[in-house]
Amino acid sequence: MARTWILVAFEIECNTRALLKSERLVLNAMQRMSGIATLSSRFAVEVEDLPVKILDTRKTTPLIRFLEKWAVAIGGCTNYRDGLYDWIMIKDNHIDACGSIPAAINRVHEYLAAKDLDLGITIEVRNLVELHQVLEVGRVTRIMLDNFEIPLLREAVHTIAGRFESEASGGIKLQNVRKYAETGVDFISVGALTHSSGTLDLSLKIIK
């Protein structure tokens, strides 16, 4: 006969009507955040002996980003960019809209100077040609190597040679995150921490 195991997460005492009115909201939030924290913990464990940080992204649920990022941190991973205001990200669309990598970087520095801001700058590159263009210009904090296969990522990290921080992104899963980390990259960003974490099944039972 199969056994059913019940894990008690917490016990509370309060007015019954108040409890039942807030039950679903609280459990829904806890289920969602517990799922994120659990997945984050699994990613953190996979690379815990390597000098790399697993980052979340802005792929979060509207209005509750702060809760989801809190859950990521509880799980042992690192929060990255709360919004568009605390770190500059130059992505492929920005580069294409500006016309070139040098133009995009220059526009960012013009903006920072005009607003008297001192923010980190990440630029996304899609291949080694773009990487070399960034290295020629410089003036960034971090280079994000987007959708690089592992051999190419290893070559890119070697080419950067510590002149800038390096970040891997795109297609990184729990099953392959360690291989990406072993390339020597400084950071690995994983949108799945928040957008594909699933939920933990929780329920509330009244004990008489």
Residue 56 CA neighbour count, 13 Å, CB half: 32
Residue identified by tokens 């205001």 is 85
User: Active site residue: 56, 68, 130, 146, which one?
Assistant: 146
Q: Is 146 a catalytic residue?
A: yes
Q: Is 13 a catalytic residue?
A: no
Cβ atoms 131, 140 nearer than 8 A: no
User: Active site residue: 21, 24, 139, 179, which one?
Assistant: 24
Q: Is 24 a catalytic residue?
A: yes
User: Active site residue: 46, 56, 68, 124, which one?
Assistant: 124
Start-to-end CA distance of the chain, whole Å, equals 28
Q: Is 124 a catalytic residue?
A: yes
Q: Is 201 a catalytic residue?
A: no
User: Active site residue: 58, 91, 107, 154, which one?
Assistant: 91
Q: How far apart are CA 71 and CA 195, in angstroms?
A: 13
Q: Residue-wise over 13-37: b if at least 16 C-beta within 10 A, else e?
A: eeeeeeeeeeeeeebeebbbbbbbb
User: Active site residue: 58, 59, 65, 178, which one?
Assistant: 59
Catalytic residues: 24, 59, 91, 124, 146
